[in-house]
Amino acid sequence: MRAEVFDNIDALPESYRRMLAAVGEKTLFHGLDWYTTLLANTSDPGDQVRIYGVMSDRETEDALALFVGRVRGPKKSAFAGTSLEEFSNFFSLEAGPIFSPLVEQEEDIEQVLNCLMGAICEETPRYDMIRIGPLNNPSVYYDNLVKCLQRRRMDVAPFFQHKNWHQDLIDCSFEDYIRSLGKSAKEAVRKSRKLDREHDVEWVITDSTDGLERALETYQKIYAESWKEPEIYPQFIPELIRSCARDRSLRLGNLYVDGEPTATQLVIMSGKNAVMFKTAYVPGHSSYSSGTVVMVRMMRHIISVDQAQRIDFGAGDEPYKSQWSLQCRERWGLMAYNRATARGSLASLAMRTRKFAAPLQRKWRGK
């Protein structure tokens, strides 16, 4: 197998594009459309895209793996240096190297990772730091990734990124799901029925390009009038919505009460997983419990119509997530410091010093 490097997503040969398309059918966050939208709408000035690939030596030249990163230049700090960061954002629930479905056995994973990390760690000029994540920990991929980096004179520091609430739904009806959650979910269903009795309610789900721009306009209007802060990259979500509408993975629900746009919820189907991206409502209509109402209606749709096998509530530990799900896992990142460079060694020393000093600081504060 051999490693290759590309400087933009459009430069990828067809074999890699086919691999991303196949992987993207199972997980949104490793698909071609996701990366195309992410790179086009969340790049910062001065970023340099670096995409590392591994190709097999077979005559068919099968693409085996990809890692999508961006290079950030030195910052004004004694310890900061040139870093390669995985190209991900707050919404990225699955990151790390992307493996072809052909790479299944653990020994194959190790060989491909060795080739991939070798290309990254040995590129000149050398990176002082490499940041990867979020990742599942523990997992075969995570453990092998740590070993590959350590073999290349990298000091690896795992760090917690966020919790991820989710709920498995295999052979589960909407009624079964609500019963499993307890009183708060049952109360939410009651409020939804009460709203139907007392008001003129319209619930519209957009899942394709038909009526998309009107639905997107409503989503943006509600979001702008809600309590939520403006997005750092304002074009990312609208372009993601358009992309997912084209492949029919979009579930954009808008709630109208007495003719007025009141609440919205954005869900994207990632294979059989329903990923909750955004919920917002107009504060003036909070008496309707509209945020709860759209949750009930969207859950009913993705369970009964889409037959989702898992609901994923994204990054974070907000209290409402534990009311709608019973399962939680942690996502971790890896920071690797290159001992072969001066700045990498300084950054590694600073990391180890902080790690050593932290228990002493806690003990001192306790006294």
Tell me, yes or no, whether 320 lies in a domain: no
Same domain, 239 and 106: no
Same domain, 9 and 32: yes
Tell me, yes or no, whether 61 lies in a domain: yes
Q: Which two tokens stand for residue 212?
A: 């998309």
The enclosing H or E element of 146 equals: helix 140-150
Same domain, 100 and 247: no
Same domain, 152 and 17: yes
Would you say 29 and 94 are in contact if contact means Cβ atoms under 8 Å apart? yes
Write out pLDDT tens, residues 339-364.
Answer: 999 888 888 888 878 776 666 566 66
- pLDDT number for residue 72: 74
Same domain, 11 and 127: yes
What's the whole-model pTM score? 0.89
Q: What is the pLDDT along the chain (367 residues), one digit of tens a residue?
A: 899 999 999 999 999 999 999 998 888 999 999 999 999 999 888 889 999 999 998 777 899 999 999 997 555 554 557 889 999 998 998 899 999 988 888 788 899 999 999 999 998 889 999 999 999 887 878 889 999 999 998 999 999 999 999 999 988 999 999 999 989 899 999 999 999 999 999 999 999 999 999 999 999 999 999 988 889 999 999 999 999 999 999 999 999 999 999 999 999 998 889 999 999 999 876 667 888 999 999 999 999 999 999 999 999 999 989 999 999 999 999 999 999 998 888 888 888 787 766 665 666 666 5
CA 229 distance to own-chain centroid: 19
User: What CATH code is carried by the domain that includes residue 183?
Assistant: 3.40.630.30
Measured at the alpha carbon of residue 272, what is the angle toward residues 271 and 273, in degrees to the nearest 5? Answer: 90
Residue 162: count other Cβ atoms within 10 Å of its Cβ.
16
Would you say 279 and 318 are in contact if contact means Cβ atoms under 8 Å apart? no
- pLDDT number for residue 286: 64
- pLDDT number for residue 357: 61
Per-position b or e across 41-74, b if 16+ CB within 10 A of its CB: bbeeeebebbbbbbbbeeeeebbbbbbbbbbbee
Q: Which residues contact 136 (CB under 8 A, 6 or more apart)?
A: 94, 142, 329, 331, 332
Report the distance separating Cα 70 and Cα 88, nearest Å.
10
Report the distance separating Cα 269 and Cα 27, nearest Å.
9
Same domain, 245 and 361: no
Same domain, 237 and 192: yes
Q: Decide which of 276, 308, 340 is a domain's last residue.
A: 308
Same domain, 209 and 246: yes
Would you say 17 and 132 are in contact if contact means Cβ atoms under 8 Å apart? no
Would you say 302 and 311 are in contact if contact means Cβ atoms under 8 Å apart? yes
Same domain, 184 and 292: yes
Write out pLDDT tens, residues 138-190.
Answer: 787 888 999 999 999 899 999 999 999 999 998 899 999 999 998 989 999 99
Same domain, 177 and 146: no
Residue 55's Cβ-side half-sphere holds a number of Cα atoms within 13 Å equal to 18
Residue 100: count other Cβ atoms within 10 Å of its Cβ.
22
Tell me, yes or no, whether 324 lies in a domain: no
- Which letter does DSSP use for residue 101 in this model? T
User: What CATH code is carried by the domain that includes residue 103?
Assistant: 3.40.630
Number of domains in the chain: 2
Tell me, yes or no, whether 282 lies in a domain: yes
Domain region containing 123:
2-163+330-366
Report the distance separating Cα 242 and Cα 209, nearest Å.
7
Same domain, 20 and 130: yes
